[in-house]
Amino acid sequence: MSKVIQESPKVQFCKKCVMSNQKVLPSVITEDTKDHSNRNNIPFKNGICNACTEIEKKYNQIDWKEREFKFKKFLEKYRSRNGSYDCIVPGSGGKDSVFQAQILKEKYQMNPLTFTFSPHIYTDVGMKNFHNWPLKADVPNYLFTPSGRVHSTLTSLAFKNLLHPFQPFIFGQRNMVAHMAKKFKIPLIFQGEPQSERGGMDDEIDQFEMLPRYWSRKKDQKILMSGLELEELEKEHKITKHDIEFYLPMEEEEILNEGIRLVYLGYFENLRPQENYYLAAKLTDFKSNDRRTEQTYSKYNSIDDKIDPFHYYTAYVKFGYGRCTEEASIEVREGYINRDEAVKLVHKYDHEFPARYFDEFLNYIKISENEFYDKLDEFRPPHLWEKIGNDPTHCKNWKLKIKLK
């Protein structure tokens, strides 16, 4: 029986890119529930997703010279006069974070401190790219590596309760940087593209910074992590509030009092994924995968963590679209490929099972192969999936009821 009990909208695909209206937008991070009852889907209007609508503005309506002028004026309030750190750029040493730190340093004469929340299990290429970032780009880095016991337990619970093994990393990556900003008294944090360029809520449109409600919590607000309340984590799994202090969002009042801001660099700079890659390759000797990344056609996106492929595959099970849909939709919007090409790529790669790191993933979250497949089946929404067989590998037993055209 499916655990996804909230009624979902009828499946629809964007007429411009290939994104599905089943795409779930980043939620208020403290409210992820077992039944996805808090989910918000990407808005569509006249058959077009709002990510495509926002990209149209990016290329046809924005005066980038005016944005640059406003950005320089904005930075004057924060720029250090003595060379001390004046902003934080979180990232992994991948193409996007390398580009962001470099443009802030060279074009805008800022002094960024880069920050990395360590992946679950580094890939070889991810580790090399990370080490090259501070060494070759001349930017200092602060690496935070969480407790192995705590992080693997949270990941296992998130998989079992939410079919979302990446949730603990998302918590840590998004929330730890605010704690860093407070600790080092550096209130300005940068992120890449505005959320609206990937699909956002109405209140995120035309915002140059992330609204506090998406990365903070109210005082005494109930928090769920890995599908459990904090008291359950401590009682049943010996994970204390101290263990997960830096996974948790700061209170909104504290963020406002500290003056901490999370600003979208892509609001002021016309960021483009492939250009980011070329600069990173030149500056830090950034390396792509030695082969095509499973579930998609590219070799350079999100390649630093061995758990990452299972984030995309579990999303495919829960929402009926996968990694290739995400990447192809971005490249259609950016003009790198057309929609017909994207459709063919999605049909070829979206369903692909991430076999390369499968055994390591099972060992990391301490479940058997059969338990893994049973959990996938438990979360398959009946409006998306039709059972067609009884193959022991489970995944071959199912097909999507509605396919992209």
In angstroms, the Cα distances linking 297 to 14, 158, 294, 332, 345 are: 20, 28, 8, 14, 7
pLDDT, tens digit (0-9, with 9 covering 90-100), for 339-381:
999 999 999 999 999 999 999 999 999 999 999 999 999 999 9
pLDDT, tens digit (0-9, with 9 covering 90-100), for 46-100:
999 999 999 998 899 999 999 999 999 999 999 999 999 999 999 999 889 999 9
Q: Is residue 27 part of a domain?
A: no
What confidence score (pLDDT) does residue 1 get? 41
Mean pLDDT confidence for 390-405:
84
Backbone angles phi, psi at 351, to 5 degrees: -85, -5
Of the pLDDT bands very low, low, confident and very high (cuts 50, 70, 90), residue 35 is low
Q: What's the domain count of the chain?
A: 1
Residue with more model confidence, 202 or 388: 388
Is the per-residue pLDDT at 393 higher than 70? Answer: no
Mean pLDDT confidence for 225-246:
94
Is the per-residue pLDDT at 391 higher than 80? Answer: no
Residue with more model confidence, 273 or 7: 273
What confidence score (pLDDT) does residue 89 get? 97
Task: Tell me the C-alpha distance between 70 and 64, whole Å.
Answer: 10
Q: Is residue 174 part of a domain?
A: yes
Q: Is residue 5 part of a domain?
A: no
Q: Is residue 262 part of a domain?
A: yes
The CATH number for 256's domain is: 3.40.50.620
Specify the pTM. Answer: 0.93
Q: Is residue 18 part of a domain?
A: no
Task: Tell me the C-alpha distance between 257 and 54, whole Å.
Answer: 32
Task: Tell me the C-alpha distance between 111 and 79, whole Å.
Answer: 8
Is the per-residue pLDDT at 282 higher than 60? Answer: yes
Kindly state the greatest CA–CA separation across the chain.
67
Residue with more model confidence, 8 or 317: 317
Mean pLDDT confidence for 118-124:
92
Of the pLDDT bands very low, low, confident and very high (cuts 50, 70, 90), residue 2 is very low
Is the per-residue pLDDT at 274 higher than 90? Answer: no
Q: Is residue 397 part of a domain?
A: no
Instruction: Print the domain residue range for 146.
Output: 63-268
Reported as type and span, the H/E element at residue 142 is strand 141-144
Q: Is residue 129 part of a domain?
A: yes
Q: Is residue 40 part of a domain?
A: no
Q: Where are the alpha helices (DSSP H) in 185-294?
A: 230-237, 252-258, 265-268, 273-284
